[in-house]
Every structure is written in C-alpha cells, then in structure tokens.
Structure 1
Amino acid sequence: MILVTGATGTVGREVLRRLPPGPAVRVMARNPDRVEGAPATAETVPGDYDDPQSLGRALSGVHTVLLVTNRVAGDQDARFLEAARTTGVQHVVKLSAAAVADPLADDLITRWQRGNEDLLRASGMGWTLLRPRSFMSNTLSWSVSVRAEQVVRSLYGSSANSCVDPRDIADVAVRVLTGPGHHHGRAYTLTGPQAVSAAQQTAQLGELLGRPLRFEELEPERARALWSERHPAPVVEALLSSALRQRDGAKAGVEGTVAELTGRPARSFRDWAATRLSAFMPL
C-alpha cells in the first residue's frame, strides 16, 4: 500500500491525480474533507504529525510513503519516521529541496531540510529524496498586484532560477512511488528546462494575458517587511538569504532529471502560466 501525505498541498494533490489504477492507496490529511482528486478506490484517513496514534493508524499496512512536511525547524519528520519504522514501512519518498546539495546554503530552511534528510537516511528504511528547485506556482503570490495594478514586485528581478512545475515533481514522485526498487538510495534534483528571472516571467505572463505588465524591483528591507506579514522572523531571514544566493547565480543550474525519469521534457514557465491565467485576470 502507498500512503500519500501532504495531499492537500501543491505537490500532493497533483500526485493523487496521477496515481495509476492498481496500487492500493491511502491518503492522510489533517482534514480529510479537503482532499480532492484521489483515486476512487483510495482510502482517506485523518492524521496529524503531532498525534502519534493517528500516525500509527495511517501507516498500518503501508509499504511506501510520500512524505511532505512544512513546519520549518519542527520535528514532524522525526515523529513520522519513528511511526513509519515501527509499523514496518519499507520505502519513504521524501520531498526535500535543491538547496540541500549546495554547500554554501546555510539558512534555517536548508539546515532543517538537511537534518530531515539525515534522519531518513539513518532510519533503516529505504529512501528516495526529491529535491525540487523553487515551484513555478510560487508566482501565484503576484496575483493580487497583477490583477489590481498590472505590476509584479520582487527582489533581484534579473537573477535566474530554474524553477520547476509542480506537475513535473508529481510525475516524478508517482514513478518513484510505483516503480521498481532502483530508485532506493537516490537523490533527484528537479528543475525546469531553463532558468528564468522574475522580470522574464513578468514579460511572459503579460504576453499570455495580452496586456503589458510592469516589473518593479523590491529593496531588501521592503521585502523583509512584506514577508514579515506572513512568516516568523527566522523564516524571513532564511528567505532573504536564499534570494541572495539566487542573485549570485546559485539557482540557475538546469538538470535533466525530469526528462530522464518521465521520458518527456520538463515543462517551461510559459507552459505552467498558460494553465493558470485565471488567477492573474482582473476580477
């Protein structure tokens, strides 16, 4: 049986839509009513990383897991992996981050992900690490200003990022979850087909919308203030550090892993944006 966690999130819900018929599937969610797109035969159960008993119930009889956690600097991975080991899970597919492989990345978020990877490798279970670059869907955070002002604001607008379509991450995840065991012990860095800057994304989005969009460079202090409205201070500082690394070229590298594992090219930012235009159109 396959257990999918993070099923209501950006990648998890795409995984559910792509799972083939055949394998038994269980979906764990804090609120099962929010799960959409699961296979008709899938079992959906309540589960919370802070509730070991619920983890035990969700993991009973499970062979393979997609593990997605998001509480930065928390112990969700430790709790889950302990429950998974106890219940006999054989293979954990962990959603991590590309920055883990960069020795110069030392921000809070990257250290947390490195620690989680170390926990998994030391668990005694089979493992596979998925390390995506930034999600293309992160640009949905521009939707309010695009709708109201026809403007995109971002830090370091000329710096390039080989961002990846979440659907490509999900396609890779499904192949690893349902494929043969040669994925065990592998770490896959997942990127888009080319690196693009925020200014280039703005231009492409404007072309698709059929109206010009303006790009405005954010000063670091303004970015800090805006992000502080949504994130605790340590996370904000980690995001600023990550943006500096991007400015210095650390996120521009392109990998062919998506094509190697799926048999088709990775989707471009234009491909992704064309499917989400309604989010950027005036209300």
Structure 2
Amino acid sequence: MILVTGATGTVGREVLNRLPADAAVRVFARNPVAVLEAACRAEVVPGGYEDPAALGNALRGVRSAFLVTSRIGGDQDARFIEAARSAGVGHVVKLSAAAVEDPLADGLITRWQRESEDLLRGSGMAWTLLRPRSFMSNTLSWASSMQKAQVVRSLYGASPNSCVDPRDIADVAVRALLEPGHEGRAYTLTGPRPVTAVEQTAQLSELLGRPLRFEELEPDQARALWSARHPAPVVEALLHSARRQRDGAKAQVTGTVAELTGRPARSFREWAGAHLPAFGPF
C-alpha cells in the first residue's frame, strides 16, 4: 500500500495521477471531497495530521508514503513520522526544498525544512528527500494582474531561478515510491536552465498572443503585497529568499530529473504552454 498526502496540492495531485492503475493507493486528505472530485481511484481517508486516530487509519498497512507538510514551524512532520514509525511504514518520500543546501539561507521556512528533514533521517525508517527549486506553477499568482492590467509584478525580476515543473517532481517521486535504490538519497530537482521573471513574462506574452509588461516591485511593495496573505515572519522569510535569488543562489541547474526519468527536465515554456487556460481569459 502506498499512501499519498497533499493529494490536492500542486505536486501531490500529479503524484496521484501518475501512480499505476493497479497499485494499491490510499490518500490522506483534509478535504476528501476535493480528491474524489478529481476522479481518484484510490481509497481516501479523511483527516489531518493533528488527528491521531485518522492518521493511524491512513497509515495502517502502508509500505511507502509520500509526505507533504505545509504548516511552517508546526509539528506536522513530527506527528506523521511518529505515527508512520509506529505503523511499520518502511519508506517515506518527503517533499522538501533546494534551499536547505544553501548555507546562507537561514530564513524561517528553510530552517523549518531542515528540521523536518532531520526528523525523518533520524526516524529509523528508510527515506528519500526531494529538494525542488521553486515551482514553475508559482507564476499562476500573476494571473489576476495579467487579466486586469496585462502586467506582471515581481521582486528582483532580473534574478535567475532554475524553477522546476511540478510534473517532473512527481515523476521522480513516483519512481522513488515504486523502485528500489532511492533509499537514503536526497535529490535536488531543477528545470533545464535558470529563467528570470522578466523572461517568463515575455514567454507568457508570446504564448498567449497578448502584450504583457513587467513591473519591478520594490521590497516594501512586496512586503505589503505578501502581508495580505501571510503572517509577518513568513513574509520576512520570503523576502530573505528573494534576496538569495537576487544574489544568484537559485541559478544552479542539476541533471537529476534527466538522470532519473531518462528525459530532459521540462522548460518553463513547456510548462506554460500546457497551462495557458489557467491564466484565464484576456
């Protein structure tokens, strides 16, 4: 039995879609209706990490699990890992982030990710860590301003990021869940080349056949924008991350996707071309 958490999220949804039809799959979801609406073939167990009984039901008989947590600074990883160990789970594939490898990245989010990785490595279970760079799908946050004003607004628009297609992360995750030989490995996952927000804007404009312009945000403007959605400590962590990108810390490209899947990592243009309807009508 394979357990998938985060199945309604960006990567978990793709993992679920890629698992073989004949595989025994279970989903642990806070919103099971959203999973079922996606025509999920898997067994669905409702609940959250804070519910020990539901978590125990979800983990019963599980051989390997795909772990996604989202409560920054919370205890979701600790709760899941303890329950998985007690249930006899053999292998956990965890979604982490590439920033954990950057010694100068010490914001709240990255510290939490490092601590979560440490918990899993010390659990006694076999583990695989997936460390993607930023998701290409993060650009969907631009959809509203693109529709309203044909503009993309971002901080440090000329700074490169070797962002990765969530489908590539999912392809690697499925291999780690199904194939032997991935235990004790940490995989840094990137796209085929670094790309800037200015370049992404130009590519979206070309693909959509609509003029788009890029507007550079000042740090205080970004802080105000993000403060509408996130608490102050998270906003400061996002600003720290943006500064690391400005300094070139997110430009490195790895060949891990190609090595593990046998094909090149998808480019931003490929991702965008497959998701143009998500940017809405113009």
**Structure-2-length-normalised TM-score:** 0.98
Matched, 1:220 2:225: no
CA distance in 2: counterparts of 1:47 and 1:282, whole angstroms: 36
Write the mapping of 1:1-283 to structure 2, written as runs, cut at 5 A. Answer: 1-35=1-35, 36-37=37-38, 40=41, 42-180=42-180, 182-282=181-281
Distance 1:68 1:54 in 2: 16
Q: How far off its partner does 1:276 sit?
A: 1.3
* Aligned-partner residue type, residue 26 of structure 1: R
- Whole-Å separation in 2 of the counterparts to 1:37 and 1:178: 22
Deviation at 1:212, TM superposition (A): 1.7
Deviations 1:45-65 (A, max 9, x none): 112111111111100000100
- Asked if structure 2 preserves the Cα contact closer than 8 Å seen for 1:16 and 1:38, the reply is no
Q: Which amino acid aligns with 1:192?
A: G
SS of equivalent to 2:22: coil
* Structure 2 CA distance for aligned equivalents of residues 11 and 38 of structure 1: 17
1:277, CA displacement in angstroms?
1.1
- TM-superposed CA distance for 1:279, in Å, is 2.4
SS at match of 2:48: coil
Please give the per-residue CA displacement for 1:30-89, whole angstroms capped at 9, x wherever unaligned.
Answer: 11111054653x211112111111111100000100000000000000001000000000
> What displacement does 1:250 show?
0.1
**Structure 2: gaps (5+ residues):** none
Q: Secondary structure at the match of 2:215?
A: strand
Q: Give percent identity, aligned residues only.
A: 76
C-alpha separation in 2, matches of 1:259 and 1:160: 21
Report the count of equivalent residues.
281
Residue identity matched to 1:260: E
Separation of aligned partners in 1, 2:250 and 2:154: 16
Letter aligned with residue 22 of structure 1: D
Per the TM alignment, residue 21 of structure 1 is displaced from its structure 2 partner at its CA by 2.7
How far did residue 245 of structure 1 move? Answer: 0.2
Q: Relative to structure 2, which stretch is displaced further, 121-130 or 43-52?
A: 43-52
Q: Secondary structure at the match of 2:23?
A: coil
Structure 1 stretches of 4+ with a deviation exceeding 4 A read 36-39
Distance in 1 between the 2:40 and 2:274 partners? 23
In 2: Cα distance, 1:220 partner to 1:39 partner: 42
CA distance in 2, matches of 1:253, 1:47: 38
Structure-2 separation of matches of 1:27 and 1:63: 13
Give me the whole-angstrom Cα distance separating, in 2, the residues matched to 1:261 and 1:144. 36
Give the Å deviation of 1:280: 2.3
What's the CA shift string for 1:169-200, capped at 9, x where partnerless? 001100110111x1000000000000000000
1:103 Cα deviation (Å)?
Answer: 0.8
How many angstroms apart in 2 are the aligned matches of 1:83 and 1:123? 11
CA distance in structure 2 between the aligned counterparts of 1:153 and 1:282, rounded to whole angstroms: 19
Which whole-Å deviations, capped at 9, do the CAs of 1:73-121 have from their partners, x for residues lacking one? 0000000100000000000000000000111110000000000000000
What's the CA shift for 1:23? 2.3
Matched to 2:215, the amino acid is E
Alignment check: 8 A CA contact 1:17 1:37 kept? no
Q: Secondary structure at the match of 2:70?
A: coil
1:133-172 deviation per Cα after TM superposition (whole angstroms, max 9, x unaligned): 0000000000001011110000000000000000100011
CA distance in 2 between counterparts of 1:280 and 1:89 reads 40
What SS does structure 2 have at the residue aligned with 1:167?
helix
